[in-house]
Structures are given as structure tokens and as C-alpha cells.
Structure 1
Amino acid sequence: MPRPRRLFRTHDTKRSALVAALALAATGLLLAFLVTRVDVLATPAAVERFVRGFGVLAPLAFVLLQAVQVVAAPIPGQVLAFVAGYLFGPVWGTVYGVTGATIGSYVAFSLARRFGRPYVERVLHDDALGWLDAFSHDHGLLALFCVFLIPGLPDDVVCFVAGLTDLDVKKMTAVAALGRTPGFFAAAYAGSNAAHGRYDTALVVLAALAAVALGAWIYRERIRDALTA
């Protein structure tokens, strides 16, 4: 008789990983609080100045900032993806952006997995939990991939919701990285073109992303229902 799947794991290595994730989350939440107070990252130009201020450590600062964005969400993810391309080019901008977002996703998954539904209900709006059904079936990982792939869907919020399921955290983290990569590359590509003065190309790419994001947001409930069908 197969053993039932457990929602929480108690291996020492996973405990250590969770402690590290919680430490990152605490640091990120503190930074996010300071950011909202001083209004330092309100625009792409402000983000650029902030990251450049770290000099040779700018890539590391950006990765951590992207991770914070996923957990605390004080900064629109599209802004950071665009700035990543502006600062580091389309390839490295995508690498740094996806790396940071993946770290943040792992933290969000782990926080929800550790503290459960009461914690998630405190940090999210009630309607966000409607996405839980999308990840409660055999196609949960595919549904999660679609959420990260389509710009405009609440992917950061979904990280906390998906953490309440029995899906494997490592697999969810990998899916988050793969799903976000196309959108992050597109935004970074636009940022890189803007950095080189090719504003027409940048605007076309941004307009396409905005159109997809707007459509996904308007029809988010229909998309959610389709993912649970």
C-alpha cells in the first residue's frame, strides 16, 4: 500500500533551507518597508539609480531586490524586468531577474508551507485564495506554469497560494523559473533597446506585453476556471 503524501517534510536539510528562506524573507520585508517609506523605487529611473549605487555589487543588489518584489510586492515586477535589461542587457538582465524571482518564489512557497492558510489569509486578499483550486488537481504544475507564463496574472500572489498545496516545492520553484523566463526576457529586451536609444522597438515590445497583461487581467477569472477544468 503506497504511503500517503505528506504536506510538511521534517528532514534536517529541508529545515535548514526553510530557516534560510525565512531569514531572506525577514530581510526582504524590512527592506520593502524602508522602500515604501522613502519612496526610493517609485519609477524605473529611481530603480536604476538605486541599483547603480551598489557599483560592482549591482547585480547582487538587483537579484535581492527582485526576490523582495516577489515576497513583499512593493515594486511592480515589470518595472524591475525592464530596468534589468536597461542596466545589464537582455541576456544578463533576464538571468538576474529570473534568479531573483526564483529565490523570492521559493521563499513565498516556503512561508505558506510553513505557516499554512491562516498566514496566507493574513497577507493576501480573500479572492486570491480562489486560485487554490487551480493547483489542487493532477495538472497543478501545468496550471502553475501557465500562471507564470502569461503576463498580467497574479503570479506573485499565486506563489503563496500554491504553497498551501502538496505540490513539491522544488518542482514549483523550477516551474516558476521556466514560466517567467519568456516574459522577463521580453521586458529586458525592451529595456536594453531603450538603453541604446531604440525607443521605437522598446515601445512596440512594451505595448505587446501591456496588451497581453491587460487581457489576462480582464479575463483572469475565465483563465482560472479553464485551468481548473
Structure 2
Amino acid sequence: MKSKIIIKSIIFFIILGTIFYCFNKFNLYEHIKEIFSSPENFKGFVIRQGALAPIVFFLIQIGQVIISPIPGNLTALAGGALFGGISASLLSSSGIILGSLIAFYLARTFGKPLAVKFVGQSIFNKYSKVFSGKSCLSLFILFLLPFFPDDALCFLAGLSNINFRLFLILTIFGRLPNIVFASLIGSGMISFSLITWIIIGVLSAILLFLMFRYKSKIENWLYNRLGFE
């Protein structure tokens, strides 16, 4: 058991080290404010990487979860314009999910001091109460809704009673819809009229009401029926 933990830790830090090495290689740290100052600058930077553009974009999607310079949905939107809806969906989804798992693992391994350092004290104080008691449905709802700090929530989830398997499920089903949706919109593959947006908004509001209304029952079912701790 101990040897497995050591092996996993070695693999994890090799992956993390590779990511940070690539960030340094492509000078992302030096130009990060300029790169993310506008969608045009971001797209221009990625395009200038030539054949390596998909790899650089993938690494950015991993890194932005951890260092959070810009919301992942916005980079996914730009990715759709750069690579097309399908390719951008795959690159953004895999990058953001991997980044989310890394953030969760870092907080779970190194605890509150590291989590606070990454997310900031104000964000920690504001959202840590979300993870009191059974919190899987609350996290899922926040993942689904726009304009919440999804990346910071990954660190906070690492400090909660949510186990890795459940967090992976919540991340896939909570974060993927927004990522894919943004990629497809950015590519121009889908577009909605005002009426359609209104209908989507109303249906979303009804769904959220039902989820909050029966929150305890749904969470009890997830924890007891599916065997989560």
C-alpha cells in the first residue's frame, strides 16, 4: 500500500513538473498578463506556436485551473474559434478535468495552507461553508452555474469529505457541459435565438429549484445507494 502511494506521488510530480517546465519553456509566466488581457491576444499567442498550438492550448487549460488567471469557459470559447468545436471540446475538457484533479490532489495532500495560498483567503472564507456536511450536490450545482470560481472549488473540495471517485464524477458531469457548450459556441457550430436562450434559462431555473428543493434526498441517495463515503 505504501509503495503504491509512493509510485502515485512520483508519477503525479513528474506530470506536474512537466507542466510547469512547459509553461517556462513557452514563457507563459513572463507574458501571462499580456496573453490573457484580451481574447485576441490569447488566440494570437496560441496561433504563433504553430504545430505545437494544440499542446500549448492543452497545457494552458491545465495550468489555468491551478493558477486561475482567466475562467476556463472563456479559454474554451477561444479554443472553439481556433481548433473547431470538436477538437476544442476534447482539448479543453481533458485539460480542465486534469487540472481539476491536480488541484484536488494538491489540497488533499498538502492541506489548508496550500489551498488558501492558491485560492486566496477571501474565496476560502466565502465558499468553504459549501463543503460542510454532505456537499456533493452543492458542488455539482456550482460547477453547472456560470460565474462561480470552479477552479477554486476544486481546491476546496480537496479539503472536504468528498472522495476522489465522487469528485471525478462531479467534475465530469458538472464542468463538461459548460466547457463543451463554450467550445461549440466559439466555433460557430451552435447559435441560439433570444427566445431559445429564454427557454434554456427558464428550464435551468426549474431544474435548479428542484435540485435545491430535494437536495438532502438526492445527496443521501448518492452517498448511500452508490456507496460513497
Distance in 1 (alpha carbons) for counterparts of 2:51 and 2:162: 38
Distance in 2 (alpha carbons) for counterparts of 1:28 and 1:135: 34
Offset of 1:110 from its aligned partner? 1.6
Equivalences for residues 70-149 of structure 1 within 5 A: 70-129=65-124, 130-138=126-134, 140-149=135-144
Give the aligned partner of residue 5 of structure 2: 11
Offset of 1:41 from its aligned partner? 3.0
Q: Is the 8 A contact 1:48 1:83 kept in 2?
A: yes
Offset of 1:187 from its aligned partner? 1.4
Describe the SS at the equivalent of 2:70. coil
Q: Is the 8 A contact 1:98 1:181 kept in 2?
A: yes
Q: What amino acid maps onto 2:74 in structure 1?
A: V
Q: What amino acid maps onto 1:132 in structure 2?
A: S
Q: 1:23 aligns with which of 17, 21, 43?
A: 17
Offset of 1:43 from its aligned partner? 1.4
Offset of 1:103 from its aligned partner? 1.4
Specify whether residues 10 and 128 from structure 1 end up closer, same or farther in structure 2 by C-alpha distance, changes over 3 A only.
farther
State the number of aligned residues: 200
Structure 2: any 5+ residue segments left out of the alignment?
A: 206-211, 220-229
1:151-180, Cα deviation, whole Å (9 max, x unpaired): 111111111111112322343134213211
Q: Is the 8 A contact 1:67 1:101 kept in 2?
A: yes
Distance in 1 (alpha carbons) for counterparts of 2:169 and 2:187: 26
Q: What amino acid maps onto 1:159 in structure 2?
A: C
Q: What TM-score do you get using the length of structure 1 for normalisation?
A: 0.72
Q: Is the 8 A contact 2:66 2:118 kept in 1?
A: no
Describe the SS at the equivalent of 2:111. helix
1:186 aligns with 2:181: yes
1:47-97, Cα deviation, whole Å (9 max, x unpaired): 112112222322221111111111111123232011111112222211111
Query: Percent same amino acid among aligned pairs?
Result: 29
Q: Is the 8 A contact 1:190 1:202 kept in 2?
A: no
Distance in 1 (alpha carbons) for counterparts of 2:48 and 2:140: 35
Specify whether residues 27 and 142 from structure 1 end up closer, same or farther in structure 2 by C-alpha distance, changes over 3 A only.
farther
Offset of 1:189 from its aligned partner? 1.9
Specify whether residues 76 and 32 from structure 1 end up closer, same or farther in structure 2 by C-alpha distance, changes over 3 A only.
farther
Q: 1:43 aligns with which of 25, 28, 38?
A: 38
Give the aligned partner of residue 69 of structure 1: 64
Give the aligned partner of residue 152 of structure 1: 147
Distance in 2 (alpha carbons) for counterparts of 1:151 and 1:11: 36
Q: 1:33 aligns with which of 25, 29, 34?
A: 29
Q: Is the 8 A contact 2:106 2:155 kept in 1?
A: yes
Specify whether residues 181 and 131 from structure 1 end up closer, same or farther in structure 2 by C-alpha distance, changes over 3 A only.
same
Specify whether residues 23 and 81 from structure 1 end up closer, same or farther in structure 2 by C-alpha distance, changes over 3 A only.
same
